[in-house]
Amino acid sequence: MRAHFSISEQLSKRVVRGRRDFRTDRASGLLVALCLLLLLGSTGCQSVLSPISGIPAHRLPPQFLAQPKNNLIPIDVARLRQEPPREYLLDTSDILGIYIEGVLGEIDAMPPFHMPTAESNLPPAIGYPVPVREDGTLPLPLVAPIRVRGLTLTQVENVIRKAYTVDQVVLAEGKDRIFVTLIKEREYAVVVMRRDGEEQSLSNQLVALPAYKNDVLHALAETGGLPGLNAKNEVKIFKGRLMDGRKRDAYVRQFYSSPPSDPCLCYPPLPDDPAIISIPLRLPPGEVPTFNPQDIILESGDVVLIEGREREVFYTGGMLGGGEHPLPRDYDLDVIGAMSMVGGQALSLSGGGGRGGGRGGGGGFGGGGGGFGGGGGAGMVGGVAPGQLYIIRKTPCGDQITIAVDMVRALRNPRSRPLIQAGDMLWLQYKPSEEILNFSLGTFFTYGISEVLGGRR
């Protein structure tokens, strides 16, 4: 009887102990699960708890794509030069050397002799200097002003001979010694403003261009040549005779006086001033320049402007670390190139941990995402590198879009590899599956091995 009681008592104690152990294990499991959940939520696993949505790169509408620059072709610089006539045609401000024996010059006297300046290509001239007036006429004694605009030197000589022997019988035919030469060509004063130096400082230069060399090419040649890498790929010409500041200001006020009919739309771009001519220096394949030959001819009062290239940069964040990086001017940069430029490959080499921890990511065991988790928990054991890139791009109306780039897909498919444009923000982070995998690996190698080693003891 006593033995039977002792056996029942032992069985009861074992049942009570089993229930107590079950409750303890269950509570421990819940506590561990709660701790793991807290760790997952507090160590940077934002792709799981705070996902970002974006348009897949391969489905991005064309209007949001960056314009390619790799295939731009420089225009023929000969398009920037005017074609001179076969013979020099006279106009206002030309200075002629005229000798009319007995009228401008004594009989049997030597006419005045003029040597050209070092910068001039003209031959030596003889005669008395007579400038062409604003109205294109030539004042000479004893006859009415002679219209010479648009005439050659030979034609002017014939017109003068007719005026003195036929229209007004001042000289006898056959005894008229008349010489017409060109002493000085007319010049056009043009201002050239450039901001294409290394220091991006604005340089102003007043250039006097002789007739038939008063074009964009000669203006650039006189002031340093074609624009360099620090300048925009265009030349702007401000036509002085067409500039009207008041009229332009009134037009701008009227343009912005009435808001767009649709409140969801923004103002359209302001039309270009007709007095400003933009000449592109590089064009896409198959596209021809649209400017006219008259557009590149400069007159006195015109201004040639070479604008400095604006500082085109893109920004990085997330696992790439915060930074500002310059964009190349004449060739394209896609997401793969941008990642290489800012050091994104270091993420792959370090399993996602190295770069982030060094730039404020948090360090800890995993480094990249901060603390133990953050996608970097498996950094020391070859965890998965971050594979989700987001491009935050501004739109013309001041809004923004988010472009989702799968890095694995981008490596395989060029359509999933969008080009970077100025102002883009590149944000690299882990995919949810990568976060969970790295967290699981980190948890196992931190706690799992400890439990195994502790169990063996």
Residue 279 scores a pLDDT above 70: yes
Burial of 403: CB neighbours in 10 Å, binned 0-12, 13-18, 19+:
buried
User: What are the tokens at 198?
Assistant: 């290394």
Per DSSP, helices labelled H in 113-175 are: 153-162
Arithmetic mean of pLDDT, 224-249: 86
Question: How far is the C-alpha of 443 from the C-alpha of 137, rounded, in Å?
Answer: 97
Is pLDDT of 325 > 60? Answer: yes
**pLDDT > 90 fraction of the chain, expressed in percent and rounded:** 30
> Averaged over 388-396, what is the pLDDT?
88
pLDDT tens column, 403-438? 999 988 988 888 888 999 988 999 988 887 777 787
pLDDT at 451: 63
Mean pLDDT of 392-412: 87
Higher pLDDT, 65 or 181: 181
pLDDT of residue 457: 52
The neighbouring-strand residues paired with 56 are 404
Is the distance from CB of 387 to CB of 412 less than 8 angstroms?
no
Cα–Cα distance between 279 and 277 in angstroms, integer? Answer: 6
pLDDT surpasses 90 at 236: yes
More confident residue, 163 or 445: 163
The pLDDT mean for the chain works out to 78
User: CA 178 to CA 103: how far, in whole Å?
Assistant: 10
- In this predicted model, what pLDDT tens digit does every residue of 338-355 receive, in sequence order? 988 887 444 443 444 433
pLDDT at residue 50 in the model? 63
pLDDT attached to residue 374 = 42
pLDDT of residue 358: 37
pLDDT at 36: 52
Q: What is the pLDDT of residue 449?
A: 64
**What was the pLDDT predicted at 138?**
94
Q: Which one is predicted more confidently, 42 or 316?
A: 316
Residue 249 has pLDDT above 70, yes or no: yes
Q: Per residue in 195-211, pLDDT tens?
A: 877 666 778 899 999 99
- Do 377 and 441 touch, CB atoms closer than 8 A? yes
pTM for the model:
0.70
Residue range 128-165, pLDDT digits in tens: 999 999 999 999 999 999 999 999 999 999 999 999 98
Q: What is the pLDDT of residue 38?
A: 52
Contact between 346 and 361 (Cβ < 8 Å): no
Question: Which pLDDT score is estimated for 79?
Answer: 92
Q: What is the mean pLDDT of residues 222-235?
A: 86
Are the C-beta atoms of residues 425 and 317 closer than 8 Å to each other?
yes
Percent of the chain residues topping a pLDDT of 70: 76
DSSP 349-410: HTTT-HHHHHTTS-BTTTBSSSSS-TT-TTGGGT-PPP-EEEEEEE-TTS-EEEEEEEHHHH
pLDDT at 187 over 80: yes
pLDDT at residue 26 is higher than 70: no
